[in-house]
């Protein structure tokens, strides 16, 4: 049930997109200790974005999950920022990560909720 959305102003090849998606999916599953079969990741490259008055490379990540523990967000932020730096070259100081803990009853799947 974790969902990670990555937005960046960088254009990416399809190969680069797949690489980021696969690595991000594995990272989220490992960090949240959830089966990867429930992890969904999306990437939106070439998004018009401005940060600190500059259009230098930037990324915004939003991680939503049922039961997202606040005690894990610091480590998740470090790991996700490192992933973005390694795969996209975006410096950590130009990455924002938003964490959202979703109530089970507000997350649907297979015609029901968790």
**CATH number reported for the structural domain that contains residue 69 in this entry:** 3.30.429.10
Enter the pTM of the model: 0.95
Query: Residue range 47-58: average pLDDT?
Result: 98
Q: Quick check: is 112 in a domain?
A: no
**pLDDT value at position 33?**
96
Can you tell me which residue has the tokens 């939503």?
64
Residue 77 within any structural domain of the chain? yes
Interval 24-45 mean pLDDT:
98
Structural domain harbouring 81 = 2-104
**What is the model's pLDDT at position 9?**
99
Mutual orientation of helices 14-32 and 73-88 as an angle, nearest 10°?
Answer: 160
Active-site annotation, residues: 2
Tally of domains within the chain: 1
Structural domain contains residue 64: yes
Give mean pLDDT, residues 59-78.
97
42 neighbors 5 (Cβ within 8 angstroms): yes
- Total Cβ atoms within 10 A of residue 66: 19
- Which helix (DSSP H) or strand (DSSP E) does residue 107 occupy? none
**Residue 109 in domain:** no
Q: Does residue 71 lie in a domain region? A: yes
């Amino acid at each position: 049930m974790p969902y990670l959305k990555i937005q960046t102003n960088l254009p990416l090849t399809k190969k680069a997109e797949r690489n980021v998606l696969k690595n991000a999916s594995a990272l989220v599953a490992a960090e949240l200790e959830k089966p990867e079969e429930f992890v969904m990741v999306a990437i939106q490259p070439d998004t018009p974005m401005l940060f600190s008055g500059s259009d230098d490379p930037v990324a915004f990540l939003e991680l939503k999950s049922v039961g997202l523990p606040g005690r894990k967000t610091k480590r998740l932020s470090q790991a996700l920022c490192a992933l973005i730096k390694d795969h996209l070259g975006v410096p950590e100081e130009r990455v924002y990560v938003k964490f959202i803990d979703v109530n089970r009853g507000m997350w649907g799947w297979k015609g029901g909720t968790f």
